[in-house]
């Protein structure tokens, strides 16, 4: 019988939640890396026991961790905890993220130019075909890649060439938070950056183009239709239709049907089109999920009711999913990387909150249960469907 493993990154450690295919009874393991900010954990699609994690701290910087046994044990890929007698210790390079070439500058909060400074890894995206290959999204925004299981990382600097001098941090920092891999074309990747927008490469990451036509940022940018500078919060794709992308922007929910060449708004009847995560049902490519948040000034659900909204029509027509979710006095947020779907049938949907709850649905969102509560604020949620 299949089972699921939910990887939860929080502000004070990581947790791993497991259940059998019924997804009713959950076991919670953790905290792993207690006390550290765990921005993101994600498993390899080709080797589910291979999991990468971004461990970070305002004091001690960035550490990459890797597990080869499904999260039971972890190590830094290039930093043996106990040196082998007679062997030179390795170099600790797995923690090193160095920008390539001339570092350059981007636009700062006050509009002046500011040098790129590495702060942390927001998102790790393992390859669809090779467990040793992973892309990493950084703050300050840049894309890094490892091909040796996380031992060393190299920047793909062409991305910052896509008008990087005009990128500007959002309130949460200038992070590359979304990496979407095209399963039909290994040369095509999409990334999204706050606040720069969405970008696409068709040559494996050497060159990039902004794909923000159709995005409108009336209150955030002097030119609402600017080529770059939009505060994209998240992009999602169904693997069967890699040219169709869904976006939750700072304000507005949008879709593209031509790989980002043109976007159109599909916010429809949402109570608020501000929000952070967006995801696609595993088996229904036109069924999408968002969690509306009241506004950019009030990061909590409208009316104190935690509601996931589902559209079965690829946007525009939305229904509130409330069964099992708090419908009064709820003032949590759901961050951009804190929603995921499993590939079971029916599809499972999961999300975590800044209040430390992790909710799950084993029926595509019709009903929800609390998998665990009172964790530290949840930064990320990923799920693995295991054989």
CA 133 to CA 182: how far, in whole Å? 15
Identify the residue among 63, 121, 159, 211 touching other proteins (CB under 8 A). 63
Q: Which stretch binds other proteins (CB under 8 A): 16-24, 80-88, 252-260, 369-377?
A: 80-88
Contact call for residue 62 and other proteins (CB under 8 A):
yes
Whichever of 57 and 240 has its CB closer to other proteins, that residue is 57
Q: Which two tokens stand for residue 203?
A: 């040559």
CA 341 to CA 329: how far, in whole Å? 26
Q: Which two tokens stand for residue 153?
A: 């990382």
Q: Closest separation between CB of residue 110 and other proteins, Å? A: 21
Q: Closest separation between CB of residue 32 and other proteins, Å? A: 11
Contact call for residue 83 and other proteins (CB under 8 A):
yes
Contact call for residue 13 and other proteins (CB under 8 A):
no
Please report, as residue ranges, which positions from 31 to 50 form the binding site for other proteins (by CB under 8 A). Answer: 33-36
Contact call for residue 89 and other proteins (CB under 8 A):
yes
Contact call for residue 11 and other proteins (CB under 8 A):
no
Q: Closest separation between CB of residue 94 and other proteins, Å? A: 8
Identify the residue among 21, 45, 48, 61 touching other proteins (CB under 8 A). 61
CA 41 to CA 36: how far, in whole Å? 13
How many residues bind other proteins, per CB under 8 A?
26
Whichever of 98 and 186 has its CB closer to other proteins, that residue is 98
Contact call for residue 58 and other proteins (CB under 8 A):
yes
Identify the residue among 91, 115, 161, 224 touching other proteins (CB under 8 A). 91
Whichever of 95 and 194 has its CB closer to other proteins, that residue is 95
Q: Closest separation between CB of residue 24 and other proteins, Å? A: 34
Identify the residue among 79, 164, 277, 348 touching other proteins (CB under 8 A). 79
Cis peptide before 232 (omega within 30 of 0): no
The footprint of other proteins (CB under 8 A) covers: 33-36, 57-63, 76, 78-83, 89-93, 95-96, 98
């Amino acid at each position: 019988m299949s089972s699921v493993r939910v990887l939860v990154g929080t502000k004070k450690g990581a947790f791993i939640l497991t259940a059998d295919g019924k997804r009713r009874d959950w076991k919670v393991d953790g905290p792993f890396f207690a006390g550290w900010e765990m921005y993101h954990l994600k498993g390899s699609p080709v080797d589910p026991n291979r999991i990468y994690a971004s461990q970070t701290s305002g004091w001690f910087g960035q550490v990459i961790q890797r597990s080869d046994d499904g999260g039971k044990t972890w190590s830094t890929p290039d930093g043996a905890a106990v040196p082998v007698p007679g062997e030179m210790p390795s170099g600790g390079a797995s923690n090193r993220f160095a920008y390539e070439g001339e570092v350059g500058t981007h636009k700062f909060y006050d509009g002046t130019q500011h040098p790129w400074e590495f702060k942390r890894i927001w998102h790790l995206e393992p390859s669809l075909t090779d467990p040793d290959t992973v892309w990493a999204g950084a703050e300050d925004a840049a894309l890094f890649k490892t091909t040796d299981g996380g031992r060393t990382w190299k920047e793909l600097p062409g991305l910052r060439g896509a008008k990087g001098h005009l990128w500007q941090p959002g309130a949460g920092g200038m992070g590359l938070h979304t990496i979407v891999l095209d399963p039909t074309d290994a040369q095509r990747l999409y990334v999204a950056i706050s606040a720069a927008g969405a970008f696409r490469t068709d040559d494996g990451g050497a060159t990039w183009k902004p794909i923000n036509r159709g995005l409108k940022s009336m209150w955030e940018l002097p030119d609402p239709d600017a080529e770059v500078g939009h505060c994209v919060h998240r992009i999602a794709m169904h693997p069967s239709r890699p040219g169709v992308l869904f976006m939750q922007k700072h304000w507005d929910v949008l879709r593209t049907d031509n790989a980002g060449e043109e976007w159109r708004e599909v916010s429809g009847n949402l109570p608020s089109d501000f929000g952070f995560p967006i995801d696609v049902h595993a088996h229904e490519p036109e069924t999408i999920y968002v969690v509306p948040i009241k506004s950019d000034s009030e990061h909590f659900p409208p009316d104190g009711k935690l509601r996931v909204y589902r559209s079965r029509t690829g946007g525009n027509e939305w229904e509130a999913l409330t069964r099992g979710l708090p419908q009064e006095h709820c003032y949590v947020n759901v961050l951009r990387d804190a929603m995921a779907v499993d590939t079971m049938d029916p599809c499972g949907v999961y999300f975590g909150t800044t209040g430390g709850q992790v909710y799950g649905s084993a029926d595509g969102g019709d009903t929800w249960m609390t998998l665990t509560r009172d964790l530290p604020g949840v930064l990320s949620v990923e799920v693995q469907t295991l054989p």
